[in-house]
Amino acid sequence: MTSTQVRAACPLDCPDTCALLVTVEDGVATAVKGDPDHPTTAGVLCTKVARYTERTYHDERLLYPLRRVGAKGEGKFERISWDEALRTIAERLAPIAARDPEAILPYSYCGTMGLIQGESMSSRFFNQLGASLLDRTVCATAGATGYKYTIGASVGTDMEQFQNAKLIIIWGGNPIASNLHFWTRAQEAKRHGARLIAIDPYRSLTAEKCHQHIALLPGTDAALALGLMHVLIAEDLLDHDYIADYTLGFDQLKARAAEWTPERTAATCGISADEVIELARLYGQTAKAGLPVAIRTNYGVQRVRGGGMAVRNIACLPALVGAWRHAAGGVQLSSSGSFPTNKPALQRPDLLKKTPRTINMTTIGDDLLRPGSATFGPQVEAVIVYNSNPVAIAPDSSKVAAGFAREDLFTVVLEQFQTDTADYADIVLPATTQLEHIDAHTSYGHLYMMANNAAIAPLGESKPNTEIFRLLARAMGFTDPCFAETDDQLAAQAFKTGDTRAMHFDWESLKQQGWQKLNMPEAPFAHGGFFTPSGKCEFYSAQMARDGLDPLPTYLEPYESVASNPQLAQRYPLAMISPPARNFLNSTFVNVKSLRAAEAEPHLDLHPSDAAARGVAHGEMVRIFNDRGAFEARARVTDKARVGLVVGLSVWWKKLASDGKNANEVTSQRLTDMGRAPTFYDTLVQVERVSA
Ligand SMILES: Nc1nc2c(c(=O)[nH]1)N[C@H]1C(S)=C(S)[C@@H](COP(=O)(O)OP(=O)(O)OC[C@H]3O[C@@H](n4cnc5c(=O)[nH]c(N)nc54)[C@H](O)[C@@H]3O)O[C@H]1N2
Ligand SMILES: Nc1nc2c(c(=O)[nH]1)N[C@H]1C(S)=C(S)[C@@H](COP(=O)(O)OP(=O)(O)OC[C@H]3O[C@@H](n4cnc5c(=O)[nH]c(N)nc54)[C@H](O)[C@@H]3O)O[C@H]1N2
Ligand code: SF4
Ligand SMILES: [Mo]
């Protein structure tokens, strides 16, 4: 028997981007372990990826191209050859492209975070075609935009510093489920005497383990940040030198924050004034004592109308108290802006003959149902889906499903599994998993460039996305030499060479080593140097004013809340959030039996008083509904959900739920204040018992 260890990287949409060691015995991957030498992975993987071989060798892996033989959505397919699949696709796309290539839409997200299997050959293909561009907004653009206005780029506190902080505020994140290796650092800090505080409407696994949990109403974080600023300024818990040297607009901010008394903040957030005052004092006094205070803010604060502003307001706090002076102080939202990625080389936007229209992936429901018009452009006639499962994950799901069910729509899905979306495909193409292809990775949690070597040969007739788009390019008659480049040639272009952050980037050595840390300053903004136009932390942003936004931190109420829309709340009085389940990664892994068994079935957590008011007992099935739709789940009556809040951990495959539906039946397509992002957690619903 031959046994080898292959260096790989976790491809999932998770900030940790772990370094993996894959054991291969006689050509079969038998174990996936965390690399003990990689500083952030430290030999530990989450439950999901520890079972990655179970996923790769799953008996339901798609191994051959398929053609739909049943109705759209029914899931009936027959095997066809690659030749036939490619010919069929080219024959359907060519006449559409000849009329108007913008009627063709790629739909992709982060099934893999790889730079190569994500957007490289695929973008080249769609750019050459002149297809519509996709605005990839479904996760992070609200917060990224708010952070950018304030700090200038997605750069913040290094995750490898958090263990040295003396106060860590975990703001809208549940790292035990979704950022495990950060949680390890937070626990280390706790052992050294740090205080951990969770700000979350729900008592998540993480909130339960923090010293304090502030359970505010969803969508009110921007107000809480303003209330903290108010107290910091009123009690002079400020770093005046840092403010004078490295910030812009303090006087205007001071006037704005004056409006946010602890009482007003408390009333807006549904918490007590003492909670506001005490948190501000703890934050300001710890910083004044010369100790590092750090904020880990995450996606929980972003999925509401004012999500961009919430992140912006939070990102102002460290500069007020001079937290950036310490390597272990500041704020982390995402580290993605730290990487010298060379996307133009991979994606070749220069292949575009003109700039096509852009379609927002968040509004795919409406956009698939929209007729052609002068403002919208042509009706969407063909969709090619890869690295995503829109029928399960996009908001306002009944519209998404209705769009994909259109008889006149031609749909191709590149997938590893027969997902809810693949059920609507005309042609399904089998894709490889991370063990079967190579890739280069950045991270949005740490600062290492990562390489993924292929551990095993592709299973069945599956192919990497890159190879599929190479073959499609040939079938469409594209002759540009860029369509002949191999994955290795692509990966060698993934990072800019000569950039100070990665002077010695060399793909061959990265492949051998598996990972390499960027060359970044320990405390990125200790002496200012923000990436904003002014080079300062911008409390006042002229760019925001130009973009039609309030240039100062402000609070925007949710679209749907008891306070902002009392009329709607009469019919739908409960706020629903649907954050990630620990054993799934978005909708990935729902079909892996051991992980699904751990989540059991779709649940809805609701407070005992809300349950009693509806005659709902623990363990009963409930129907969750609003004007957009309805789904069913099993009630868990628990005070983990604050009064007025219901929580349905997500994202379930619809077809694996008893009613064939999931939480996105009730979420809306309305967009955030900035970044054109979804408002998944800005949703009012009613809940009722399902009669037996
Ligand atoms: N196990 C697992 N890990 C994942 C994922 C997964 O599906 N499963 N998904 C990955 C992806 S794509 C992403 S984007 C990240 C997400 O990463 P995180 O944003 O850290 O997601 P969660 O862990 O759910 O944490 C969000 C928390 O925010 C809370 N929350 C909801 N609304 C609000 C609000 O208005 N204000 C505040 N303060 N809190 C709120 C929720 O209750 C939840 O506990 O995780 C990644 N990692
Ligand atoms: N209600 C609700 N909805 C949400 C969220 C929420 O919190 N609540 N979270 C949102 C967020 S943060 C995100 S990021 C989105 C995630 O939405 P998506 O990015 O669509 O993520 P997944 O559901 O994981 O689907 C990814 C698919 O890609 C496939 N895949 C993986 N690797 C490859 C590959 O190499 N090739 C091909 N062809 N396919 C591959 C997987 O099999 C999987 O089916 O969901 C959003 N939807
Ligand atoms: S999902 Fe996250 S924690 Fe799990 S192995 Fe991948 S990167 Fe690591
Ligand atoms: Mo995400």
pLDDT digits (tens, 9 = 90+) for 461-485: 999 999 999 999 999 999 999 999 9
| Buried-state track 315-339, b at ≥16 Cβ within 10 A, e below 16 | bbbbbbbbbbbbbbbbbbbbbbbbb
The predicted pLDDT at position 692 comes to: 62
The predicted pLDDT at position 419 comes to: 98
Cα–Cα dist 199/214, whole Å:
5
Architecture of the domain made up of 66-132+356-437+460-496: 3-Layer(aba) Sandwich (3.40)
Please name which of 538, 504, 500 lies closest in space to residue 521, comparing C-alpha atoms.
Answer: 500
User: At residue 163, what are phi and psi to the nearest 5 degrees?
Assistant: -65, -15
Query: Does ligand 3 come within 6 angstroms of the Cβ of 180?
Result: yes
Domain range 142-336+523-546, its CATH number among 3.40.50.300, 3.40.228.10, 3.30.70.890, 1.10.3720.10 = 3.40.228.10
The predicted pLDDT at position 558 comes to: 98
The secondary structure of 22-87 as a DSSP string is EEEETTEEEEEEE-TTSTTTTT---HHHHTHHHHHT-TT---S-EEE-S-TTT--EEE--HHHHHH
Task: Tell me the Cα Rg of the chain.
Answer: 25
- In the reported structure, the alpha carbon of residue 579 is separated from the centroid of ligand 4 by a whole-number distance in angstroms of 10
Cα–Cα dist 340/570, whole Å:
51
Cα–Cα dist 182/15, whole Å:
9
pLDDT digits (tens, 9 = 90+) for 307-324: 999 999 999 999 999 999
Mean per-residue pLDDT, 64-89: 98
580 SS3 class: strand
pLDDT digits (tens, 9 = 90+) for 419-442: 999 999 999 999 999 999 999 999
The predicted pLDDT at position 3 comes to: 94
Cβ contacts of 360 within 8 Å, gap of 6 or more: 135, 137, 367, 671, 676
User: Which residue's CA lies nearest to atom 7 of ligand 3?
Assistant: 17
Chain position carrying tokens 């780029």: 153
CB-facing half-sphere around the CA of 453: CA atoms within 13 A: 21
- In the reported structure, the alpha carbon of residue 413 is separated from the centroid of ligand 4 by a whole-number distance in angstroms of 20
pLDDT digits (tens, 9 = 90+) for 291-306: 999 999 999 999 999 9
**Ligand 4 is a single-atom ion; what residues have CB below 5 A from it?**
139
- In the reported structure, the alpha carbon of residue 507 is separated from the centroid of ligand 1 by a whole-number distance in angstroms of 33
Q: Where are the domains of the chain?
A: 66-132+356-437+460-496, 142-336+523-546, 566-689
The ligand whose atoms approach the alpha carbon of 395 most closely is 2
The predicted pLDDT at position 504 comes to: 75
pLDDT band at residue 498 using 50, 70 and 90 as cut-offs: confident
Task: Indicate whether 570 pLDDT > 80.
Answer: yes
Cβ contacts of 395 within 8 Å, gap of 6 or more: 362, 365, 664, 667, 668, 669, 678, 679, 680
| Buried-state track 605-632, b at ≥16 Cβ within 10 A, e below 16 | bbbeebbeebebeeeebbbbbbebbbbb
Q: What is the mean pLDDT of the chain?
A: 97
Query: Does ligand 3 come within 6 angstroms of the Cβ of 45?
Result: yes
- In the reported structure, the alpha carbon of residue 110 is separated from the centroid of ligand 2 by a whole-number distance in angstroms of 6
Q: What percent of the chain has pLDDT over 90?
A: 98
Task: Tell me the two tokens of residue 653.
Answer: 């495959």
The predicted pLDDT at position 447 comes to: 97
The secondary structure of 379-403 as a DSSP string is PP-EEEEES--HHHHSSSHHHHHHH
Instruction: Return the number of other C-beta atoms located less than 10 Å from residue 570's C-beta.
Output: 11
pLDDT band at residue 497 using 50, 70 and 90 as cut-offs: confident
The predicted pLDDT at position 581 comes to: 96
Query: Does ligand 3 come within 6 angstroms of the Cβ of 22?
Result: no
Please answer whether residues 508 and 451 qualify as being in contact, where contact means their C-beta atoms are separated by less than 8 angstroms: no
Fold matches, 66-132+356-437+460-496 and 566-689: no
Query: Does ligand 3 come within 6 angstroms of the Cβ of 9?
Result: no
**Pocket test residue of 138, 178, 205 for ligand 1, highest count of atoms within 8 A of CB:** 178
- In the reported structure, the alpha carbon of residue 628 is separated from the centroid of ligand 2 by a whole-number distance in angstroms of 22
pLDDT band at residue 503 using 50, 70 and 90 as cut-offs: confident
Distance of CA 669 to the CA centre of its chain: 17
Range list of β-strands (E), 508-628: 515-517, 537-538, 574-577, 603-606, 621-626
Mean per-residue pLDDT, 227-241: 98
Please answer whether residues 47 and 27 qualify as being in contact, where contact means their C-beta atoms are separated by less than 8 angstroms: no
Residues, the chain:
692
pLDDT digits (tens, 9 = 90+) for 51-63: 999 999 999 999 9
Domain range 566-689, its CATH number among 1.20.140.70, 2.40.40.20, 2.60.40.1120, 1.10.3720.10 = 2.40.40.20
The predicted pLDDT at position 499 comes to: 85
The predicted pLDDT at position 84 comes to: 98
Helix (H) or strand (E) holding 318: helix 307-321
Query: Does ligand 3 come within 6 angstroms of the Cβ of 48?
Result: yes
Mean per-residue pLDDT, 682-688: 98
pLDDT digits (tens, 9 = 90+) for 171-206: 999 999 999 999 999 999 999 999 999 999 999 999
Please name which of 12, 46, 14 lies closest in space to residue 32, comparing C-alpha atoms.
Answer: 46
pLDDT band at residue 500 using 50, 70 and 90 as cut-offs: confident
- In the reported structure, the alpha carbon of residue 570 is separated from the centroid of ligand 1 by a whole-number distance in angstroms of 28
